[in-house]
Amino acid sequence: MGILKEKDRDKLISVFKDIEKDVKIVMFTQEMECPHCEMTRTMLEEISGLSDKLSLEVHDFVAEADLAKKYGVDKIPATVLLGDKDYGIRFYGVPAGYEFNVLIEDIVDVGKRDPELSKEVMAELAKVDRPVHMQVLISPT
Amino acid sequence: MASDHISSDMIESSEFPFLAVKYNVHGVPHTVINEEHSIVGAQSEMEFAKAILKAIGK
């Protein structure tokens, strides 16, 4: 039994048609999977199967600690979205509820290589000249 | 994506309660910039951009 419902799957297939370039989803879990890790992995497996532009790599947080460090992943379940480069997009925890929509939007934005921000906001962000790390804490709805 | 300097984590606070405690999270969304600056609640994209610049002293 899948996590995504039939109608969700159909909707996602249609939303993913906007993806122009490949998106790689990198997920960190561990051998003895926590329930949230298993749910995240299953969900990402189902999502990544809905477009040929999407690929999924699953890694072991413990056995591949160096790789986790490379991606700056310090907790699991962790989901990393990659395009032509690493844009610094990470999801920690099951991307369910409201976060699910954000994940889908981010996948499409990365697939379009377009953050979909206004010119004015882009101009402000162009002034950023040193590392900024944002952490958005949310909860399921 | 808009800047090579910016990275962003979405964190499910109920799965990582120690972070909710660390950052004194009472309501969501709660955004922490560079460990020090907090924004509570949903804001416009421009307000987030301004908060980012403020956090780096611009």
pLDDT in tens, A95-110: 988 889 999 999 999 9
Domain total in chain A: 1
Give the helix ranges, DSSP H, for chain A: 6-15, 35-48, 65-70, 98-112, 119-125
Q: Is some CB atom of chain A closer than 8 A to the CB atom of B25?
A: yes
Whether A132 is covered by a domain: the verdict is no
Residue A139 has a pLDDT of 87
- Residue for token pair 């920690």: A92
Whether A137 is covered by a domain: the verdict is no
- Distance CA(B12)–CA(A7), nearest Å, equals 25
ipTM beyond cut 0.90 = yes
Residues in contact with A98: Cβ distance below 8 Å, sequence separation at least 6, in sequence order? A138, A140, A141
Whether A34 is covered by a domain: the verdict is yes
pLDDT tens column, B3-15: 999 999 999 999 9
- Distance CA(A6)–CA(A4), nearest Å, equals 7
The percent of residues in chain B predicted with pLDDT above 90, rounded, is 98
- The two structure tokens encoding residue B30: 């709660």
Where residue A73 sits, what CATH number does that domain have? Answer: 3.40.30.10
- Distance CA(A105)–CA(A122), nearest Å, equals 18
Asked whether the beta carbons of residue B7 and residue A75 sit closer than 8 angstroms, the reply is no
Residue A140 has a pLDDT of 67
pLDDT tens column, A8-62: 999 999 999 999 999 999 999 999 888 999 999 999 999 999 999 999 999 999 9
A141, pLDDT greater than 60: no
Range of the domain at A47: 6-125
- Distance CA(A116)–CA(A8), nearest Å, equals 23
- Residue for token pair 């960190």: A28
Q: Is some CB atom of chain A closer than 8 A to the CB atom of B39?
A: no
Residue A2 has a pLDDT of 80
Asked whether the beta carbons of residue A136 and residue B8 sit closer than 8 angstroms, the reply is yes
Whether A134 is covered by a domain: the verdict is no
Whether A30 is covered by a domain: the verdict is yes
The percent of residues in chain A predicted with pLDDT above 70, rounded, is 98
- The two structure tokens encoding residue B42: 């949903």
Whether A32 is covered by a domain: the verdict is yes
Whether A88 is covered by a domain: the verdict is yes
The pTM (predicted TM-score) of the whole model is: 0.95
Best residue of A70, A108, A130, A132 to probe chain B, by most B CBs closer than 10 Å: A132
Whether A133 is covered by a domain: the verdict is no
Residues of A in contact with B18 (CB under 8 A): none
Tell me the three state secondary structure of residue A83.
coil
